[in-house]
Amino acid sequence: MSGVVVFEVDYIRDDLGRIDVTTERVNGATKAFDYDYDLAGRLTVYKRLKAAQEEVASILPWNLPQHIRRLLREKSRAVC
């Protein structure tokens, strides 16, 4: 083994327990993502953070990555 992390994800949550920032490491490459919510707690913006700038993408639920859609489904089931 070379000691390179194959896959790792870190989550930073806000005071309400929602995902605020994720950091993903895949085969040694790191990507960070930021999540913004509206006042009702719904995810409104998913941003990939870059070192020098932010790429901002407003999103609709069907544009979310599959792992985020799954988390939202699980969260909505837990609330209902």
Report the number of distinct structural domains present in the chain. 1
Decide if 53 is inside a domain: yes
Q: Which residues, in sequence order, are CB contacts of 7 under 8 Å at separation 6+?
A: 24, 25, 26, 27
pLDDT at residue number 30: 84
Strands (E), 1-80: 7-13, 19-26, 29-37, 43-49, 54-58
Mean pLDDT in order along the chain per 10 residues (80 residues) = 76 92 86 88 84 51 64 56
pLDDT at 25: 86
The reply to whether 1 falls in a domain is: no
In a domain, 25, yes or no: yes
Is residue 2 included in any domain, yes or no?
no
Question: pTM for the whole thing?
Answer: 0.57
Strand partners, 68: none
